[in-house]
Amino acid sequence: MTTHATAAPPTMTAWAQHRYGDAEAVAPEEVPVPSPGPDDVLVRVHATALNSADARVMRGDPLILRLAFGLRRPRTAVQGRDIAGTVVRAGAAVTTLQVGDAVLGETTGGGLAPFVAVPAARLVLRPEGLDDLVAATLPMAGGTAWQALALAGLEGDAARGARVLIVGAGGGVGHFTVQLAALRGAQVTALAGPRALPVVTALGATTGLEHRRTDLSQLTAASFDAVVVIAGDHPLRQLRRLVVPGGTVVLVSGGSRPVTGPLAVILRAMVLSVFGSRRLRPLAATAKPEITAELARLAAAGDITPHIERVWPQTQARAALAHIDAAHTVGKLVVRGL
Ligand SMILES: NC(=O)c1ccc[n+]([C@@H]2O[C@H](COP(=O)([O-])OP(=O)(O)OC[C@H]3O[C@@H](n4cnc5c(N)ncnc54)[C@H](OP(=O)(O)O)[C@@H]3O)[C@@H](O)[C@H]2O)c1
Is there a domain that residue 290 lies in? no
Q: Is 168 in the pocket of ligand 1 (CB under 6 A)?
A: yes
Is there a domain that residue 301 lies in? no
Per-residue pLDDT at 267: 85
| Ligand 1 geometric centre to CA of 36 (Å) | 33
Tens digits of pLDDT across the chain (338 residues): 445 566 799 999 999 999 999 999 999 999 999 999 999 999 999 999 999 999 999 999 999 999 999 999 999 999 999 999 999 999 999 999 999 999 999 999 999 999 999 999 999 999 999 999 999 999 999 999 999 999 999 999 999 999 999 999 999 999 999 999 999 999 999 999 999 999 999 999 999 999 999 999 999 999 999 999 999 999 999 999 999 999 999 999 977 778 877 888 888 888 888 878 899 999 999 999 999 999 999 999 999 999 999 999 999 999 999 999 999 999 999 999 97
Is there a domain that residue 203 lies in? yes
Q: Is the dihedral angle over the CA atoms 60, 63, 66, 69 positive or is it negative?
A: negative
**CATH code of residue 83:** 3.90.180.10
Per-residue pLDDT at 1: 41
Q: Are residues 256 and 310 in the same domain?
A: no
Q: Are residues 112 and 193 in the same domain?
A: no
Q: Candidates 173, 195, 228, 332: which one to mutate for ligand 1, based on the most atoms within 8 Å of Cβ?
A: 173
Is there a domain that residue 294 lies in? no
Phi, psi for 151 (deg, rounded to 5):
-65, -30
Q: Are residues 126 and 159 in the same domain?
A: no
* Cα separation, 316 vs 81, whole angstroms: 17
Q: Is 230 in the pocket of ligand 1 (CB under 6 A)?
A: yes
Q: What is the DSSP letter of 261?
A: B
Q: Are residues 157 and 276 in the same domain?
A: yes
Is there a domain that residue 266 lies in? yes
Is there a domain that residue 298 lies in? no
Q: What is the DSSP letter of 142?
A: I
Q: How many residues does the chain have?
A: 338
Omega of the bond prior to 62 within 30 degrees of 0, cis?
yes
Closest to 1 (Cα-Cα) out of 88, 89, 93: 93
Q: How many angstroms separate the most distant Cα atoms in the chain?
A: 63
Q: Are residues 48 and 115 in the same domain?
A: yes
Is there a domain that residue 210 lies in? yes
* Cα separation, 31 vs 10, whole angstroms: 9
**CATH code of residue 174:** 3.40.50.720
Query: Helices 172-183 and 143-151 meet at what angle, rounded to 10?
Result: 60
Q: Are residues 318 and 252 in the same domain?
A: no
Give the DSSP per-residue string, 202-241: HTT-SEEEEGGG--GGGSPTT-EEEEEE-SS---HHHHHT
Q: Are residues 177 and 149 in the same domain?
A: yes
- Say if residues 79 and 58 touch (Cβ distance below 8 Å): yes
Q: Are residues 167 and 131 in the same domain?
A: no
Total domains in the chain come to 2
Range of the domain at 175: 141-282
Q: Is 216 in the pocket of ligand 1 (CB under 6 A)?
A: no
Q: Are residues 123 and 146 in the same domain?
A: no
Neighbours of 237 (CB within 10 A): 11
Q: Candidates 48, 50, 51, 52: which one to mutate for ligand 1, based on the most atoms within 8 Å of Cβ?
A: 52
**Which burial class, exposed, middle or buried, applies to 59 when counting CB atoms under 10 A from its CB (0-12, 13-18, 19+)?**
middle
